[in-house]
Amino acid sequence: MLKDASDDRSAFLERRGGRDVGVLQPRLGGDEAYRGANSNMHATEAFLALADVTRDTRWLSRALRIVERLIHTHAAANDFMVIEHFDQVGSPSRDYNDGIPPMASAPTATPAMA
């Protein structure tokens, strides 16, 4: 039964997840301009749990794709400070919400390391 659910979720992600740039959209169902590290962290955790329960390695591949993009590419180039915000093509959006008072639901810009 869990294997069937895993297949259903995978098909859903393939159909509705938007263009794969190694950084998932926070909401499925469209091609939003915004991508965030937070939703990708949760997706990585979910993919690792699915891989553990189903023994299906495609979930490990999905998790690794996110980690490679967020940590090994972007954070590594930023002195390993995780970048929170990305645009539609997966490039950092360092000025996202810059100048707006911080809110719990919308993290502000990520500073660049010198």
For the question of whether the overall pTM of this predicted structure is more than 0.95, the answer is no
Q: Which is more confident, 55 or 95?
A: 55
Give the tens place of pLDDT for each residue, 3-58: 555 566 666 665 544 445 566 766 655 666 778 888 888 889 988 998 999 899 98
Look at residue 89 and tell me whether its pLDDT is greater than 90.
no
Neighbours of 101 (CB within 10 A): 6
Q: Is residue 10 classed exposed, middle or buried when 0-12, 13-18 and 19+ CB atoms within 10 A define those classes?
A: middle
Which band of pLDDT confidence, cut at 50, 70 and 90, is reported for residue 60? Answer: very high
Which band of pLDDT confidence, cut at 50, 70 and 90, is reported for residue 109? Answer: low
pLDDT at 72: 94
Average pLDDT over residues 71-88: 89
Q: Burial letters for 38-63: b for 16+ Cβ neighbours within 10 Å, e otherwise?
A: ebbeebbeebbebbeebebeebeebb
Q: Distance between CA atoms of 67 and 60, rounded to whole angstroms?
A: 10
pLDDT at 18: 45
Ranges of each domain in the chain: 2-86
Half-sphere exposure of 34 (CA within 13 A, CB side): 14
pLDDT at 4: 57
pLDDT at 71: 93
* Pairing label, strands 85-86, 35-36: antiparallel
Q: Distance between CA atoms of 90 and 19, rounded to whole angstroms?
A: 10
